[in-house]
Amino acid sequence: MDASIETIAPEARGRAGRPTREQAQARQAELLDIALDMFLDRGFELTTMEGVAAAVGMTKRTIYARYEDKAALFLATVERAIERTRMSPAALHALVSDDLEQTLAAVARTRIAELMTPEGLKLRRVINTESYRFPEIFTLSYEQGAKPVIDFLTDLFRRHDSAGAVCVERPEMAANVFMSMVVGGPVRLLASGEAMRQDEIEDWIGTAVRLFLNGVRPR
């Protein structure tokens, strides 16, 4: 039996006996979601391919046909979590207004909300617990998750600097500093299990945005 279809119930298969593309994608997403939960609950060492296969209802042969080993499966779960918390360029540009302070607050609010989702919190936890074993997940998280926001802010600061609204000599560095100020604190607290009320998050964002702008406005 083809390893790619052996776990699909006959009634769920297409006319030719194979799953539809949508069914295959849903099955793949289910595999990665369950595997991520197991890596979080048990750690990388104690999670086995046999255990993942049993939890998902697949055979090991099916999983090994997609991922050569447990490390490859782990990295795929992290990439999926990053993808689900990534802000698209369209979503970022939809936050732009004529008021720079409002724009920055909207970017911070939206990014924190993305990272506060169950997927976002799982991503923070898995990076915290497994980055010593897989240092590349730091790079993955930055390049695929944080960098699109940094690039957007870099361009935003460059344009406002050209217009004379702010004085930012190094816009990319300013973008990184801004995100650390507004997002770093709440995300660290939330990932550690400490709850923040929405009004506390809003207060944090407002304070951080004003402090940042006070530092870059022309004197």
pLDDT for 86 equals 87
Buried (b) or exposed (e) across 133-162, using 16+ Cβ within 10 A?
A: ebeebeebbeeebbbbbbebbbebbbebbe
pTM over 0.85: no
- Among 1.10.357, 3.30.379, 1.10.3470, 3.40.50, what is the CATH number of 87-216? 1.10.357
pLDDT for 120 equals 84
Answer whether 10-82 and 87-216 agree in fold.
no
Low-confidence residues in the chain, pLDDT < 70: 1-17, 191
Top-level class of domain 10-82 = mainly alpha
Nearest to 186 by CA among 217, 208, 219, 155: 208
pLDDT for 3 equals 41
- All structural domains of the chain with their residue ranges: 10-82, 87-216
pLDDT in tens, 78-125: 999 888 888 888 999 999 999 999 999 999 999 998 888 888 888 888
pLDDT for 9 equals 45
